[in-house]
Structure 1
Amino acid sequence: MENTCKITDLICLPDTKLPRVVVVGGGFAGLALVEGLKKRNVQVVLIDKNNFHQFQPLFYQVATSALEPDSIVFPIRKQISGYKNVQFRLAEVVEIEPSRNLLFTNKGKLTYDYLILATGTTTNFFGLENVEKNSLGMKDIRDSLNIRHMMLQNLEQAAITCDDEERDALTNFVIVGGGPAGVEMAGALAEFCRYILPKDYPEYPSSIMKIYLVEAMDELLGAMSDKASEKTLEYLKNLDVEVLLNEAVSDYDGKVVQTKSGKMLLARNLVWTAGVKGQFPKGISKESIVKGNRLKTNGYLQVDGHKNIYAIGDIAALISEATPKGHPQVAQTAIQQGKYLAEMLTDLIDDKPSKQFKYKDKGSLATVGKRRAVADLGKLKFGGYFAWLLWSVVHLMSISGFRNKLLVGFNWVISYFTYEKSNRVIIRNFKQSSHIDSPSDEQFGTLEKSENMQKTKIDA
């Protein structure tokens, strides 16, 4: 069906005299904010390019065939069902015009009284074009499925080829980035190699599958304690993962990974978890953008230079003496900021004073396979089975929807006793393509607001 909407068309919304709060992004931050405003005297409009919320901490389990994607995604409309003052619109925001309180999307435009950007981040390849072209990030559920299909197709091809070097390349995996995502991915792949590969691929020994974890710093899990870093390194080595510290990838042609020190790693599979950068629509003043392509905010999460635009979640950088680099880009930060901003906006509309945002660090967790995890909970730092159990409970309770909790929990129980991963099917062929998916002017029509643009009256 042809899309007849123009960028100058109005997005249809119920008439209201209440202040309109437009929230861009249905991640942890956006949904926490919407939840906090569901009974307030405002009209909330939630906009997202997907019609579902994704539970990012478990992307690596979808990538390694442990979970199906519908176990960790949840329909946004189901999430907000019963929220009488909340409207959801499936659209991708393209540009903001702050001077007129206008928001332009690929499906039309709308006005706002308060605009909240919760657009999150995307993979940062740091300008390495060949790496971006030939590898995969892990910031979207589609990325996870691409990694799964790439892995399974390459393993199948390795069973076919008689070329020893090509077989090695097809069965070798390089994960770049020693943060939680990279560590968890490496651990899951190592368990796949140890317990699944011998059963599914008796044609060659599991020792043929080599897993490399490349980290530019001198330790893993740099945001956690030294104890957590050391324990994680020990766990990975026990799983036969080759960890390369103080190594930075400089190039990748799809078969050979090159590092700055001159190392060459043969691998057809490269997963990039080494960095992220903020993503947000055009129209924000350049002075508001700081390192990591994040939006600088004050203590009330208001974007610098914009009186009624706010940023929450990974995109927000609250720069202060206590947080010179902003708050950590993790789910608990996003949720706390969403809840805070719901209260702050209510106070603002009611002309009441508000306190500035204060982050409460509840600790950090990371897992390295079954029965192996590390935990930093204040002064309490530990690893092992109990840390893994705590990680499992926290993540299971954080997933949206009872059905999804049940599906994930059931899969984990089966896996705990059998190491079985029943989702090893290739639904579609994976083809490597560019991961630059930002909208173009040609796709959505030019955004130049000239005198010739359609003059559509907009009722606030």
Structure 2
Amino acid sequence: MKQNQMLNGIDDHTCKVTEVICLPNSRLPRVVIVGGGFAGLALVEGLKNKDVQVVLIDRNNFHQFQPLFYQVATSGLEPDSIVFPFRKQIKGYKNVSFRLAEVKEIQASTNTVITDKGNLTYDYLVLATGTKTNFFGMEEVERNSLGMKDIRDSLNIRHMMLQNLEQAAITCDDEERDALTNFVIVGGGPAGVEMAGALAEFCKYILPKDYPEYPSSIMNIYLVEAMDELLVAMSDKASSKTLTYLENLNVKVLLKESVSNYDGRIVQTKSGKTILAKNLIWTAGVKGDFPKGIDERHVVKGNRLKTDAYLKVDGQENIYAIGDIAALISEETPKGHPQVAQAAIQQGKYLACTLMGIINDKPIGLFSYKDKGSLATVGKRKAVADLGKLKFAGYFAWLLWSVVHLLSISGFRNKLLVGFNWAVSYFSYEKSNRVIIRNFKLNTTAKTQTKDNSENHLEKDVNTKKSSIDV
């Protein structure tokens, strides 16, 4: 019977789509949370073991620690060190359920969420779906480059890098070798800066050991930034110090420059420069990623959902937005709050209290964001810190960055793994095993991401998110 099913193209292990997603029977108000990032998990933690039924929905069965994606991409850490299963996270939370599904549409008129696995109803819906890479309508760039918004992206970058380095050792064509060993990172926010620094240290310390057949100088790293400084969300001191760190690591920083096209081999800039490279990593912008069903009148620049001071989506009675997807527009925050981890976590904690206040008919306050400072690292003993009026760089900034990130990782085992890997790397510059476990090939077919016509190419890199945890 099983053989006949397989021959007919039917797989018993395929997850079936049902009309309704099964959930525990409960008379408590139901809060459905879509997305298990920093904001979504903070909300879950705030609602655990309360008199409310919580349903967490995510397309993955794990939480991803985005600030360290670049270390997975450069073979500094293994992926299982920075992902943590949702079911382990909610173990012991009697009122919380997790369902693996992707939300396709919201039907606000019937309080229904439509997913690829079935439908479910809600009393309160919270969108914490985060963002996706924004290529600003440049389809050829999108087809031929890689973003860094998912753990799979990090693994793709790792395999691309290792495969191209191996191919460079094989080829006798000097121009082809240059293309294979040149790396272009687009975007000078924390994600781009940290990626450039990690690649530069890989080039300096790992390349000579693993690839003695050619010198480390063969690997050129370019960081392209449209503004006139790096880390524009941080202080001038942090920006200038970061530039110095990168230049000392032989990173070629191109300021006031932007990419206009990339065909997989030649990077073209708006000023007319061309760079030969088969490795392009895009960290130059993000846009909101949420399911259908929200009136476009309530979507603002960056494809974010406009909310009121209670984080409720404009025009909705019981739909809320938190994290990168939310834009609380006010006189103090005309562009919304920064798309960083600390804002997402604060919003999740606030909304937990607010929802319980609404359910229990108690007074609720307005959301107020408290900026606790920002950190970014460039490499070993090289980091910058903005903590209010206190701004410093160097070893102590790097040490603080390391401690904050280590404490923020989910799971005791993951903390141990990351701490151990960092200790080994600190004393030996040796990173995790650099193995190619699957062939990587760019998807050269057009991707079907919706164009955001309200944006233009001059929009600033908003990927200051989570490539560096804020204090």
The TM-score, its normalising length taken from structure 1, stands at 0.94
Provide the rounded CA distance (Å) in 1 between the counterparts of 2:307 and 2:341.
18
Deviations 1:105-161 (A, max 9, x none): 000000000000000000000011111000000000000000000000000000000
Contact 2:78 2:432 in 1 (8 A): no
CA displacement 1:1-49 (0-9 Å, x = unmatched): 3546346x00001111110000000111001001100121110000000
Unaligned 5+ segments in structure 2 are: 1-10, 451-471
2:292 maps to what in 1?
282
Number of matched residues? 438
Amino acid at match of 1:37: L
| Separation of aligned partners in 2, 1:363 and 1:203 | 44
Q: Return the offset for 1:437.
A: 6.6
**Match in the other structure for 2:23:** 13
Structure 1: 5+ residue stretches without partners: 440-460
Deviation at 1:422, TM superposition (A): 2.6
Match of 1:111 among 121, 128, 150: 121
Q: 1:438 & 1:253 partners in 2: Cα distance?
A: 19
CA distance in structure 2 between the aligned counterparts of 1:323 and 1:418, rounded to whole angstroms: 45
Indicate conservation of the 8 Å contact 2:81/2:414, yes or no.
yes
Aligned counterpart, 1:263: 273
Separation in 2 of the partners of 1:346 and 1:385?
A: 43
Deviation, 1:411, is: 0.3
1:218 is aligned to 2:198: no
CA distance, structure 2, for counterparts of residue 108 and residue 207 of structure 1? 54
Contact conserved, 2:35 with 2:127, CA < 8 A, in 1? yes
Q: For residue 131 of structure 1, what is the aligned residue in structure 2? A: 141
Partner of 2:354: 344
What corresponds to 2:371 in structure 1? 361
Mapping of residues 84-163 of structure 1, within 5 Å: 84-163=94-173
| Amino-acid identity (%) | 80
Shift in Å, 1:423: 2.2
Distance 1:356 1:115, change over 3 A: same
Shift of 1:436: 3.6
> What is the CA deviation profile of residues 247-292 of structure 1, one whole-angstrom value per residue up to 9, with x for unaligned ones?
0100000011000000000100000000000000000011110000
Residue 77 of structure 1, aligned match among 72, 77, 87: 87
**Over aligned residues, Cα RMSD in angstroms?**
1.1
Determine if the alignment matches structure 1 residue 384 to structure 2 residue 404.
Answer: no
Return structure 1 stretches of 4+ with deviation > 2 angstroms.
1-7, 434-439
Which residue of 221, 246, 252 corresponds with 2:256? 246
Task: Show the 5 A alignment for 1:398-437.
Answer: 398-433=408-443, 436=447
TM-score, normalization by structure 2: 0.92
Tell me which of 196, 203, 209 is aligned to 1:199.
209
Partner of 1:445 in structure 2?
Answer: none
| Secondary structure class of the residue paired with 1:23 | strand
Give distance in 2, aligned partners of 1:320 and 1:378. Answer: 22
Deviation of the 1:239 alpha carbon:
0.2
* SS of the residue 2:196 aligns to: helix
Task: Report how far residue 392 of structure 1 moved.
Answer: 0.1
Q: Deviations over 1:165-203 (max 9, x none)?
A: 000000000000000000000000000000011111111
